[in-house]
Structures are given as structure tokens and as C-alpha cells.
Structure 1
Amino acid sequence: MLTFLTTAPSTGSPKTSRDLDPFFTLSLDMLCVMGGDGYFKEINPRWEQTLGFTDSELLAQPWMNLIHPKDKDLTLTQLQQFATTTAPVSFKNRCRCADGSYKWLLWNVSLNWEEQLLYAVVRDLTERKQSKEALWDSEERFHCLVENVKDYAIYMLDIEGRVISWNQGAEGINGYREDEIIGEHVSYFYPPEDVASGKPERELKEAAEVGRFQDESYRIRRDGSRFWANAVITALRDKNGKLRGFAKVVRDITERKLAQEALQQAHHNLEKRVEKRTAELLETNKRLRQEIKERKYAEKELKRRESQLQKQTEQLQRTLQKLQQTQVQLIQSEKMSSLGQLVAGIAHEINNPVTFIHGNLSYAEQYFQDMLDLLKLYQHYYPQPPKEIEIKSEGIEFDFIASDLPKLLTSMQVGADRIYQIVRSLRNFSHLDRAGKKAVNIHEGIDNTLLILQNRLKHKGNRRSIEVIKEYGNVPLVECYAGELNQVFMNIISNGIDAVEDVIGKGEEERGNKEEKKLSPKIKIRTKVINDNWIGVYIADNGIGMSETVKQRLFDPFFTTKPIGKGTGLGLSISYQIVVEKHGGHLKCISSQNQGTEFIIEIPLKQVSQECYCQNPYQIQGGIGRGIVDIIMEEIPTSDLQLPNS
């Protein structure tokens, strides 16, 4: 309830709400009529558009409920003025919207005493309020920014050029306090000669005409000292284009100017020194030209002599290399020629008695069987022999001899077959009857090599036998120098045996006597047809492998990683010459540390005529670690020829 409505005198009859209906509909402001009970009596559509409440929602609640709690006391205080006056009352407050936000409203309220009604015209000031606050905030920030800038003098001038604002930077650069300079003309900071020439006025005039003026010249401080200044004058105009004044920004560039002057002076001094030095260099250059001319002639002569010396050195190196290769080949050829003849002689000498023994064993077995049958007949028809025969039969253990002698003959037959195979393998390996280029079965050469090396492959002491895995492809006859190619197989397989033996020895040291951890040494030999003209032989082991450094020197003559006395380092070098130079093929090695090694031999099926480094068919390499004679002695061990255990 608005109790003040009954306390003041009436001043006349107000217009009824019906008279105001057209304004309620057309007004851009919010119009309303409020009763003494605190409720709206009538409102125009602008209320719903501004606050978001419907007409029914606004008419159903006291209008004071819409006022911000902090503005209610101020609103009531303003309305209490109607207790003593009839003049309209204006005030501002915040009014709640349907979404919970508040808007600033300007109220212009009039009281009708006779009808006990309040008539109000209300205007939304929210956008204006926000714009004003934003403008004030922006001006405040700009003012703080300008005031806190100390490296630049920033001050404002009126249209006559008098100072109307002064920041800390201006005080620091020019030396004047704000109270000393406000109202003074900008020419106060110029040197007398510039003031006399009218420079300050010209600058302001140009800034007013163009909008901006920039200059670098001397200025005067409060103490009378001069400094170089970079000044920018900007004309300020209102929205109608009328000049309101100028903004001036001044920066002290004395240090930069002094540095430029010092640099110019240094440049000038440097130019003089350069001129002097250039004259000296020209004179020196003149002398040097003569010396260079003389030296060029000497260098030309020296290069000619060096070129001759280089050619001679290269020729000597090639000759030395050929000499070394020839020396190695001659030594190896002579050594292997003698050894080949020895092997052939041994094979021939062994072959004769072996043939004799092998050929007579079958007769001996038949004779023994006939005699045994005869003795059985005697026992059948004379079951009671004389006492002397009975004693002799028990003494010599006749029954045991009768059962064991066939076994003995069988064992002798096996030993004789073994010796016969070894002799045949030696003959096939050396290919005495095929020294030239022939079409041969490459698998026979590999098998003969394995047979010769059989003693190194089999079980020895605690060492397991080396397993040989053969994966032969359907390879046709290969035209080659079979004896020399067998040397390559011998060398590579022997090296593979050495490699896996090193792994076995190392493994036994690490594992001790634990049988379940025994290593499985293997050598794998594969052959296949690469294409219509080439075949490949692949010999791999699971040995210790080799480092990249060793691989790079693998085919160098005399290079070996074996202990002294076990290898000469010629085996792989000669093998490389046999495969590459003699057969026009390829010899490759794939290996890594502790991952085993694989040698790849690739040769053509048919050979073209080539000049060989050596024509000796018995040239068996000497770097395999064991001689052919040693292999022969190992391959005919007495254990293979012993009688069965009695």
C-alpha cells in the first residue's frame, strides 16, 4: 500500500486510462498506471517486450517485487515525495526480467490524487548504461596507459598548440612538471632558431591539413640541454570533422643519433684506412703477380713430374700385386701339385691291396661255409668223437668260432667297402682323369668332399656329431673344372666345421657337464637352379659367424682369423679366384656375429673360354686347416677294421 496517496491535496482531474489507449499502443516507452494497493492497473505492450513477462504475469504481482532488492529503499524514498508535492518525480532503478537478469530503467512518475493512481513513463537505459560504463572503462584504461608510459612523452594540445595534458614520460624527457607546463605553447620545447623560423606553427598546420606530421630534430629540456627527438603530431577531430586539438608523442633518440654519428665517423675513418691499405696492397699485388707467374711455371713443371711419378708408382703397385699373386699361385701350385700326386699315388697303392682283399673276401666266406658244413656232417655221423678231439674243441671254443667267424668276415667286408669308397672318393675328388673342362654332376663332388671329411663330422669324445643337411635340387650337369670346384667345396665346408667346433667348445665351457643343454652343430647344403643359365650352391653353418670387419677382408690373400699353424689365409682367396675368375661366377658371404655363416656359390651351366690364373688341376687350397694326407689317415682308422667284441 502507498499510504502517501491519501495525505496530499488534489490538483485537478487526471485523464482516464481510456483516453490514453492510443499512447499505450504506439509509445516506444513503457507506460503504466499503478494503484495505491501496489499493483499495475494498466500497462502497454512495451513492458512485455522489455522485461519478457506477459501482461497477466505483470498484473498479478505487486510491481515492487520487480525492483532490485538494493534499489527498493531508494525507489520508496523517491515516491514519498508525493506526500509533500504534486510535481512529477524521476528516478532510476533496476528491474527484474523474466530470465532473472536486471535492466536499468528511468522512471518519470506523476500522482493523480482524485483517482489515487500513479501514472508512469518508464525508459530502458540498459544499453546506454552499458555503453557509458564501457566508454568510461576504456577511457580509464587509456588514461592509465598514457600515464604509466615513461619512455615516450605523450601530451595533448588544443587547436592553438597549448599543452592541455602531460604524462610521466613527458615529465621525464622534457624535465617539466605538469603544473609548470599546462597552458604553455608547444614552441616552449623548440630551440630558439626553430621558434624564430616558425617551425612549431608549420608542423601544427601540416598535421591539421594532412592529419599527421613526423619529424626528427633537436628539442630543449628544462635545464637548457638539447636532445634529439622523434616527434609525431596527430590531428584530433570530432565526428563532424571539426579540429579539436592535437596529440603529440615524443621519443628521445639521442643515443641512437650519437651511435649513428659515431658509426659514420668510424665509417669515414675506415674508408681512409682502406684507401691507404688498398694502395699498399696494390703495390704488394704487383710484386706477387711476378712471383705467382714464376711459381706457376714451377708448379706446372712439378705437376708434370708428379704425374710421371704417379704413373710409375701405379705401374709398380700393379706389378707388385701381380708378383705377389703369381708368387702365391706358384707356391700353392707347386705345393698342391706334389700333394695331388701324393694323393693319387696313395689312392692307387691303397686301391691294389684293397681290391685284392675285397675280391677274396667272398671266396674266403664261401670256403669257410663249406668247411663249416663239412664239420657239421662229421658231428652228425660221428656224435662221439675221440677224447683228444673233444678236448681240442672245448679249448678253442669251436661253437663260438662257428657263430662268430661269419660276423668277423662281414666286418672285414664292411671295412674293405669303406676303404674302397674312400679311395674312389679321393680319385673322384682330384679328378685325375678329368683335368679339363667337363660336364659333371655337382652333387657327386659335394658328396665326395663330405666323404673325405667324414671323420671330422662324426662324434668325438663328448662332442656330438655334426649334422649335415642336404637339400639338393634338380640340377643338370654343370660344365666346369670339377677338381678345382671340389677344392672350393672342401675349403668352405672345412671352414664351416671349424666354425661350429668353435661354438661347441665355447658352449661346453659355459654349460659344464649338463647334457640337456648340448648344442646341435649343423651344416646345411642346398643346390638349386637360379635360371636357365645359372645354378647356385648354398653352404650354411650355425657357427660363430663373423663381424663386418672380417667380412670385408674375407677374400684377401693371407688374411685369417685362425691361430698360427692352423690356416694360411689362402683358402678363400683361391676359392674366390676359382669361382669368379676361372668359372665366371659369384662367391658371396652372408654372416653376422653369433648368427652363423652362409656362402653362396653361383656359376653358369656352360663356361666360356677364360684364361685361368693356374692350370694345375691338383691345386687343393692350403688354408683348410688340415692336409689331404691327414684326412686320409683319419678316414682309415683302425677301429673300422677291428674284429667284433669277443
Structure 2
Amino acid sequence: MTHPTEPAHGTEASANAEGTPKQLEAKYRALVEAIQDYAIFTLDVSGNITSWNRGVAKIKGYAAHEIIGKHFSVFYPPDAVARGWPDYELRRAAADGRFEDEGWRVRRDGTLFWANVTITAMFDEQGVLQGFAKVTRDMTERKRLEELEQSSRRMSEFLATLSHELRNPLAPMRNAVNLMRLETLGSGDQRAPRDSATLRQCQSVLDRQLSHMTRLVDDLLDMGRITSGKVELQYSRVDLADIVARAAEAAKPTLERRRQWLDLRVPGQIAMRADPTRLIQVLQNLLLNASKFSPPGSRIAIESDLQPQAVELRVSDEGIGIPASEIDTIFDLFVQHKHGKVSDEGGLGIGLSLCRSLVELHGGSIRASSPGEGMGSTFTIRLPLGIESADEKQDTAVPLPAGALRVMVVDDNRDSADSLGMLLQAMGHEVHIAYDAEGAIEIAGSFVPQLALIDIAMPVVDGFALLRGLKNMRGWSGTVFAAMTGFGQPSDRAETKAAGFHFHIVKPVELPKLQMLLAMVEQGTVAGAGPAGNSPPAT
């Protein structure tokens, strides 16, 4: 049987093993003082500092003799002291037992840091307040990262809005150029003006500059998408030679204008898994960059090197080269060559940074090299070959339209609506134009189109509301609806698809894409659209 006094004796032995109260307090003080990542100190009931640890010296910059005895409000910015915030913290801690806060605090040298602060009230056995224990943690780095994330989100939103606003005026300009392209300037038609060669030259200039402006806007938006993590690759099985050929074709007008010749040494039958649109974009940007920094009449080359599980592509030029001091920063955002260029093409310092981001999204890498200034440069892309997936998309050719369609254009930008209408009429289609939702509803009573092109950002009644109204009208079940907008992010496309639009068209509308859309409508190959015959449905 256990003796009744044994538990007490055991507890006393345990206490003796751990140490006396004074020894325990000494160990506790040593532990607190050793902590350097937290500023730990005590306050009397009035808020004066009575003890400190090394963390106070590290975080706030005070030695013990400089801070003990002072009021803890010395750590607070003047505006916080003026509104009585330190005293408020003590009152809350005394009332609730504990108070936690985050905010700016002041170091000894006057610099600010973002702090997480916990104040705990200390009471004696009778419940009388004896003072406070205060723990402060420097959270400046976390605050900085949060602000960077917020800044990145705001920048992405700004770039998207900027791109949208820039695309609106580009849309009617592109429509006008497309219309000029369809005219029979200099073709022998008696209606062609005598100075058709001059007009052809003007059309060529407008076409080039519009393409350049559109590319800058697209680069801005793509960079915003990438920094916010909103770019999703659409993989398919592609042939590398075909990708290179399509990129070369896209860059051809610029190269021809500067009399530069392209040497392609990429064999066929190199299959890989990639997003063809994005890969073409990368190679086109590299070709245009090579053209910009190379003299007229020079050679630009694309070569490939097949390796196990990977392929390397090299884009080389005979241009001004890259100084060794700039090699490491050449892919940084908004960085441009400091030693000028040899063409009149401008830029924002986005293209190469965008190339690197898109290549890395593919799981690859890109590097730049140059023997030195005036000796040309080479950009080498390394991409994994990848494995084809059963559900990957395959590029399919869409035939051009052969017959006339009934088309409605709705856009509050009159220049955009009128120019697009003129372009469609020149292509042989019957077109009705409205500048707002109310005008579209009026037209819809007597005209049911096979295709409705609707701007979604109209004032008063937007394109989404108009879509719902038109779909509820008699005879409109077979109409194909295309949303026109300056926004082209995946979330924007998802929104228009969920609303019931069959297509999402980003302004300005390129002629080949418009022709493909018209062909699909005419041949009835639009998923989700009912049959739309060549005769108007009964109304």
C-alpha cells in the first residue's frame, strides 16, 4: 500500500530537480534574452519599459540603457501617438487580457518597419494589474511581398484595361485597312483611281504600323497575364518545321521591307508537344528582334539540333551584337538595348522577357550569346519534345466563305461599327448596323441574321443583356453570336462562353480570322448553334 505522503514527497523531489523558483526565473530570463527574432520586453502599468531582450536591440536598435524606463510609445509613429493608439492598446489588453495588432513601428534610427504586436496583461494572485508583457515581430518582408502581389494584380488589371482602350481605336483602323485590301486598286478596274500606286503604298504603311501597334498591345497584355499567372497553354501535337515556317511567314513583311533574307535549316518530321500559337509568337518575336538590330541586306538564320527528349532552336543574326555587360539582363522586363538599333522599329522592352516566360511555361529554356558588339547575336531555345495526349487539339483548316450571309453588327463605337459593316458589304454580305442595344432590338423585328457581331462593353445595356434579349426573340434560335471586345484573357473568354456567345473576337479583327468565322457560319459547323438557312426565318 502506498503511503499517503508519498505523492507530496515525489512532487517536492521533482521541484528540487527542476530548481528553485529563483533558478526557474533565471532560466526563463536567459531563454527570453537569447531570443533575437522577437522583441520581448515588459511594461509597468503606465506603459514604461521595465525589461528587454536582445531582440529589442536587433529589431528596434536600442541598447538596454537607452530604452529601459522610457514609455513604449517611443516605438510608434507620431500620428499613432497623437491619436492615443499606444494607450488604447494597453486599455484593451487590461480589459481583455490580451491585445494583438499589426502596423508601422519606428526604429531608433527613425526608419519604419511593419510589426506584429502582442500585448498580454499580467495580474497578481488577487487579480491586480501588475504590468504588461509585449512581444513584437518584424513582418516587413511579409508586408513587402503582400504589397508586391497587390501591385502585380493592379498592374495586370491596368494592362488589361489599357489594352482594351487601345484596341477600340485600332479596330476601325484595321477594318479600314482590310477594306482597302479588298479594293481593286491597280488591278485594271476602270473604277480604280489613277494614283492607285500611291494608295497601295499608303495601305501598306497603315497595315505595317497597325500590325506593329497591335503586337505591342498584345505583348503588354500577355506580360500582364504571365505575371498574374493567367496564361494557360493549349497543347497540341505540332511539327517543328511547320511552326518555324509560320513564324517566318508572320515576320516576312518586316524582313522584306529591310531586304533581309532568312536562312531556314530546320528539317521536317520533328514532332513535339507545344502550344503552336505561343511557340510561333516566341519565334516571331525573336525574328523581329533580330531584324531590328541587324542592317539591311543581312542574313538571319534559324537552325535546329535534335537531342534526346529535347530540341534546340537557334536564331542568329549579323547585327550589332550584345555587350557582355548586358547578356545577363537582356531578358529582363522593360530592358532595352542601350547601344541603339539600326531600324526605325520601336519597342517597350517586353518582347524578349515575354519569349523567356513563354518558353519556360513550355518547360524549356532560352539563352542569349554574342561574340561582342558588332558581331551578331544568337538566341538558343531548348524545348522538351513531350508526349502527345489523346485529347489535344489538332489544327484544322477552315474553308473561306463562298456565299453571302445576313450579318448584324452592334457597336457603340460608330467608326468601328461602320468600318466593319463596310468591310462585310465589300465581301458581299447583307449587313445591318446598330449603335446600341435599343437599335439592335428595333432591327431584329424585321431582320434575323445568320451572324450577330456584338460589342459587349456598350453603355446602358451591354452586350450580355442584348444577347439574352435577342435569344428570346422568335426566329433567332439559328443565329450565331460573336462577342467583340478588347479583352482577351481566358477569364473573359470563359465569361462570354458561359453567357451563350459562340465566339469571342478580340479587337481589332484580323481579316483571315473574320473570313474563317464567316465560313464556319455559312457551312453550319458552329458548335451549339441551330440550323441557319440561307432564307430568313419567318417572323
Q: TM-score, normalised by structure 2?
A: 0.31
| Higher relative contact order structure (alpha carbons within 8 Å, sequence separation ≥ 6) | 2
TM-score when normalising by structure 1: 0.26
Q: Which has the larger radius of gyration?
A: 1
